[in-house]
Amino acid sequence: MSPVQLESPPDRGELHDLDELSFDNRFTASLPADPEISARRRQVEGAAFSRVMPTPTAAPTTLCWSSEVAALLGLDAAVCAGADFADVFSGNRVPQRADPFAMCYGGHQFGNWAGQLGDGRAIALGEVIDAAGGHQMLQLKGAGPTPYSRGADGRAVLRSSVREFLCSEAMFHLGVPTTRALSLVATGDAVVRDMLYDGHPAPEPGAVVCRVAPSFVRFGNFQLPGSRHDTALLRALVEYSIERDFPSIWSDVTRPSFEAKVIAWFNVVVESTARLVVDWMRVGFVHGVLNTDNMSILGLTIDYGPYGWLESFDPGWTPNTTDAQMRRYRYGAQPSVVGWNVAQLANALAPLLDGTDELQAALDGYGAAYGHRFCSMMAERFGWGPYRESDDELISEFFSLLSATETDYLIFCRQLALVPIDPSGALDDETLVAPLLDAYYQPEELVGEVLVRTVAWLRRWSARVVEGGLSDDSERRRRMDAVNPRFVLRNWLAQEVIDAAEAGDPAPIAELLDVLRRPYDEQPGREHFALRRPDWARQRVGCSMLSCSS
């Protein structure tokens, strides 16, 4: 695995006016539309989307934008800093040639079929051609009611919008597939939320994030027409998705039939989804709400809600208090619940095929695809070179050790590169464990059996590094560092900038974003951003506890 590393790109914006955005609205031009144009809440059948206008807000102000996404869209800094940018990306002004709409989809929520969900507060402006000639959909999250808002207001609060904006970009820089975020705009309107669902609703500042991705199609887009036995719409959506987002499969003459293309496409979805989950496990990300409507057909991380980052290693941890009882979406369950989600997609596709053997075979490949990638990732992370089956015992002892005393997952992994390789066994225990001490929440517990096991593991790890042949220490460290990030969006870091933004100072958002731009580099002077969770954050709402209220 080689995470994509990007320097902040040069400002190569060309557009000076947002009305010059080159819209090419393939989704709305190709797929069946709901004939009604309004936000009246309703069941929408036989249509992939509903046209709906964003609802204007009181006083839009841009709090932050991503210069990388702006460059991708050809927008220069002057455009992003202008008043029209805040107007357009809050939904107050719809640019020329945009065709605003909300998508219609369903989903399984926490294991139960929930029927029609749809974009209840996200309104897409349309698709624009990016600097590389690809299509990017621009979607405003929090832009007001749609036919899919059910009982809710179509809005989003500042705290959840800061979290979505920053995490989208942090994930991109980590090399984890994700939807992107162009902008974070405060609306000037208050939004009432009962943050912990405990009977204390209160007004909070509202915001809109402009999310950007080649496609926002979810597993649930296919499931809804599947559940309604609307095979015509299901087929139209599948054809659309393959033709537009997987053109090499669509034009593959060795697979001339529609059925063969569906199978090839589903295999790619299985593979990219498995790869995504390995990335989450690598960087310690817990999505929090892995419902099938939150599963991207492109294998992107999508819908940042009550997500969190593992700090002390605990496979049973979920940041989502709404899931505190079942812990369905806990860190360690992500590979299997995503497998279940992929199976729901397969169920939805089955009516398009004569037989299901090939679909089942592709689905069965999920476990192996995940397992192979996970093992290779672990071998890379440890500086071993290619994985061998005999590594399994050492890998499982590693996880067992992390649970033996409260250990920060990512600090341990990152610092391991600094543990000296000691093939002759000459170094004493203290010297071996010294680089790891920052990873322990209770360093005094690193004694007795825990210390003995840790040192024994380090010696075996070291011997395996030698066997793996990566004998040049600096090259080995470089490779390990490229897999084990120094900087992730720890929950308490996000909360610090949310507190500042809610108090009227948005500047820390951009400062944190700048740190997260180079997650694999040491950044002298910014060590604060790589510290383990401070004590104040242990029980603080927003750090260790988040509900779906957003």
* Crossing angle for the helix pair 357-381 and 334-349, to the nearest 10 degrees: 160
Of the candidates 338, 382, 363, 336, which has an alpha carbon nearest to the alpha carbon of residue 479?
A: 382
Binding test (CB under 6 A) with ligand AMP, winner from 54, 95, 284, 305: 305
- The nearest distance, CB 91 to Mg ion, in angstroms, is 19
* Crossing angle for the helix pair 507-516 and 158-174, to the nearest 10 degrees: 20
547 counts as binding ligand AMP under rule CB under 6 A = no
Binding test (CB under 6 A) with ligand AMP, winner from 104, 117, 283, 401: 117
Exposed, middle or buried by CB within 10 Å (0-12, 13-18, 19+), for 502?
A: middle
- The nearest distance, CB 154 to ligand AMP, in angstroms, is 5
When the beta carbons of 149 and 267 are compared against ligand AMP, the nearer one is 149
- The nearest distance, CB 147 to ligand AMP, in angstroms, is 11
448 sits in the region (left: phi over 0; alpha: psi -120 to 50; else beta) called left
What is the size of the binding site for ligand AMP (CB under 6 A)?
17
When the beta carbons of 204 and 380 are compared against ligand AMP, the nearer one is 204
Q: Of the residues 279, 293, 323, 408, which is catalytic?
A: 293
What count of Cα atoms within 13 Å lies in the side-chain half-sphere of residue 320? 24
303 counts as binding ligand AMP under rule CB under 6 A = yes
Q: Which does 187 bind (CB under 5 to 8 A by kind): ligand AMP, Mg ion, none?
A: none
- The nearest distance, CB 301 to ligand AMP, in angstroms, is 13
Binding test (CB under 6 A) with ligand AMP, winner from 34, 68, 87, 119: 119
Rounded Cα distance between 206 and 143, Å, is 10
The window from 255-263, 272-280, 287-295, 364-372 that contacts Mg ion (CB under 5 A) reads 287-295
Q: How far is CA 418 from CA 373, 415, 433, 508, in A?
A: 25, 5, 10, 31
Binding test (CB under 6 A) with ligand AMP, winner from 13, 91, 118, 214: 118
Q: Which does 149 bind (CB under 5 to 8 A by kind): Mg ion, ligand AMP, none?
A: ligand AMP
Report helix, strand or coil for 326: coil
When the beta carbons of 119 and 380 are compared against ligand AMP, the nearer one is 119
Rounded Cα distance between 14 and 528, Å, is 37
Q: Which does 307 bind (CB under 5 to 8 A by kind): ligand AMP, Mg ion, none?
A: none
- The nearest distance, CB 172 to ligand AMP, in angstroms, is 20
- The nearest distance, CB 302 to Mg ion, in angstroms, is 7
Lay out the site mask for ligand AMP across 126-155 (x = CB under 6 A, - = otherwise): ----------------------xx--xxxx
Q: Which does 305 bind (CB under 5 to 8 A by kind): ligand AMP, Mg ion, none?
A: ligand AMP
- DSSP letters of 124-140? EEEEEE-TTS-EEEEEE
Rounded Cα distance between 311 and 327, Å, is 17
- The nearest distance, CB 291 to ligand AMP, in angstroms, is 6
Say if residues 181 and 67 touch (Cβ distance below 8 Å).
no
Rounded Cα distance between 341 and 302, Å, is 14
Q: Which strands form 202-213's sheet, in the order they lie side by side?
A: 49-51, 101-103, 122-129, 135-141, 202-213, 180-193, 61-65
Rounded Cα distance between 198 and 158, Å, is 20
Tell which positions 145-204 bind ligand AMP, by CB under 6 A. 148-149, 152-155
CB-nearest residue to ligand AMP: 120
Q: Which does 121 bind (CB under 5 to 8 A by kind): Mg ion, ligand AMP, none?
A: ligand AMP
**Cα angle 389-390-391, degrees, rounded to a multiple of 5:** 85
CB-nearest residue to Mg ion: 303
When the beta carbons of 66 and 294 are compared against Mg ion, the nearer one is 294
Structure tokens at 488: 């992730």
Residue 229's contacts (CB-CB under 8 Å, 6 or more residues apart) are 351
- The nearest distance, CB 119 to ligand AMP, in angstroms, is 5
- The nearest distance, CB 300 to ligand AMP, in angstroms, is 14
Q: Which amino acid is at 480?
A: M
- The nearest distance, CB 217 to Mg ion, in angstroms, is 13
Lay out the site mask for Mg ion across 291-330 (x = CB under 5 A, - = otherwise): ---x--------x---------------------------
When the beta carbons of 136 and 294 are compared against Mg ion, the nearer one is 294
Tell which positions 270-289 bind ligand AMP, by CB under 6 A. 289
Q: In 10 A of CB 516, how many CB atoms?
A: 22
Rounded Cα distance between 381 and 464, Å, is 13
Rounded Cα distance between 42 and 147, Å, is 6
SS3 of 426-494: the string is CCCHHHHHHHHHHHECCHHHCCHHHHHHHHHHHHHHHHHHHHHCCCCHHHHHHHHHCCCCCCCCCHHHH
When the beta carbons of 155 and 159 are compared against ligand AMP, the nearer one is 155
When the beta carbons of 312 and 491 are compared against ligand AMP, the nearer one is 491
Say if residues 168 and 147 touch (Cβ distance below 8 Å).
no
When the beta carbons of 94 and 548 are compared against ligand AMP, the nearer one is 548
548 counts as binding ligand AMP under rule CB under 6 A = yes
Report helix, strand or coil for 308: strand
When the beta carbons of 70 and 224 are compared against Mg ion, the nearer one is 224
When the beta carbons of 98 and 289 are compared against ligand AMP, the nearer one is 289
Q: Is 303 a catalytic residue?
A: no
Residue ranges in contact with ligand AMP by CB under 6 A: 117-121, 148-149, 152-155, 289, 293-294, 303, 305, 548
Residues with a catalytic annotation lie at 293
Residue ranges in contact with Mg ion by CB under 5 A: 294, 303
